Amino acid sequence: MLGGGVLLRFGANLSRYSTRGNQRHFVGVIGGNEVIISPDFTALKHMNGSFRSFAVGVFVRNKEHLNIGTIGHVDHGKTTLTAALTKICSAAGVGEYTPYDAIDKAPEERKRGITICATHVEYETEKRHYGHVDCPGHADYVKNMISGAAQMDGAILVVSAPDGPMPQTREHILLAKQIGVPRLVVYLNKLDLVEDSELLELVELEIRELLSEYKYDGDSTPIVKGSATKALNDDPASVQSIKDLLKACDDFLATPERKADLPLLMAVDDVLSIPGKGTVATGRIEQGKIKPGDNVEIVGGKKVGKKSVCVGLEMFRKTLSEGIAGDQVGVLLKGVKKDEIFRGYVVSAPGKYSCHDSFEADVYILTFEEGGRKNAFVSNYRPQAFIRTGDISCSVHLPEDVQMAAPGDSLHCTINLLHPMPIHEGLRFALREGGKTVASGIISKIVS
């Protein structure tokens, strides 16, 4: 007998058994298609063999969708808060609880007690469906944070109440602004460890000043105080703080205008090779739409893109009939090997986008107080350029009449990339060196 929970989990009518080798499979219908379901309920296959999927159920689009995430300094409680958000939503009957260990699931993350790679979970309020990315705070993994933040429509800045803003707090705010995250909500965590109310007021004031420094609305940004750990342990006041945070997200984080009518563009943040299935590229759809059967082009690394076909779509391990701008999806690509597509590439409408390796840009050099360099640099400076979800070595060439670029300077320069990347005029980027963000800029002209 199959329990009702399994039926709901798949959204399927399971009708009979099918014996394959020495294993018994279930046969049923999902979305009008007859499928074979493996005994462990992780692998599906259409009876015609056209598509394999590890999706569990079908994604139902019945609410406004928003991509948000947690950012902030290492060990301030981002992953604990993420787990608490899913638990409180689950208790309210919307979404499933994702425990801490399921978010920090890599062995190295558990061993070190920090998040290394950005991790995706989902939860819902009465108003919205949220796709949530838990970004790493450790300085060594900021490039993974950039990749995660590039997928966000808004973010939750987590700050430890007893510690206050720390180096990665400042850097994450800077990067969120540079990448284009329009609004932040603040969760002042570990409230149970603070006894001095005056200290709490000073920390809140410092946070608001920091937000204003990076052109966020420090005066009106909601700051919710609580303890994520105690919320996980069902402390009533802490649970209420999570509910208040969810309401602040619903009310303060605006849904951006989705560019669904433009040609498809999805920045790749990860690539998976699934046995018996093929290559899956994951990422947030910046603009346009995509559905199984659509022709696409993989653009990146070379001047000429690689043509492919989308043969399957998933979102949060659920089958998706169509992905639209704003969705964080996995795209199953036909005839593409894992070594032919990398983070930083884009999946796009055929013939609409191209790669370039040289551009002119308007660049601002961060001061030391902003987390940047102490000293000036000269022409042919070689930092790493962070563009969308990718990072690449580059060389920065100053104008002929400029001998050096000092911290605090704004200037127009030419940047050459080590290899071609999918870029266009108006695209924002960051320059990093030695674990620091040293400059931010916007592409003004494509050279080649």
Residue type, 1: M
75 counts as catalytic:
yes
Task: Please give the structure tokens belonging to residue 402.
Answer: 């400029």
Please say whether the beta carbons of 171 and 105 come within 8 A: no
Q: Tokens 């350029």 label which residue? A: 385
Which alpha helices (H) appear in 406-445, and where do they start and end?
Answer: none
CA dihedral sign of residues 60, 64, 65, 71: negative
Whole-angstrom distance, CA of residue 432 vs CA of residue 391: 9
Residue type, 174: L
| Catalytic, out of 46, 75, 318, 409 | 75
Please say whether the beta carbons of 192 and 219 come within 8 A: no
Task: Please give the structure tokens belonging to residue 273.
Answer: 């090779």
CA 19 centroid distance within chain: 41
| Catalytic, out of 78, 120, 230, 243 | 78
Whole-angstrom distance, CA of residue 370 vs CA of residue 170: 8
| Catalytic, out of 73, 76, 79, 82 | 79
Whole-angstrom distance, CA of residue 151 vs CA of residue 286: 9
CA 323 centroid distance within chain: 16
367 counts as catalytic:
no
Whole-angstrom distance, CA of residue 43 vs CA of residue 329: 18
Whole-angstrom distance, CA of residue 74 vs CA of residue 226: 18
| Catalytic, out of 138, 143, 247, 352 | 138
76 counts as catalytic:
no
138 counts as catalytic:
yes
Residue type, 300: G
Active site residues: 75, 78-79, 138
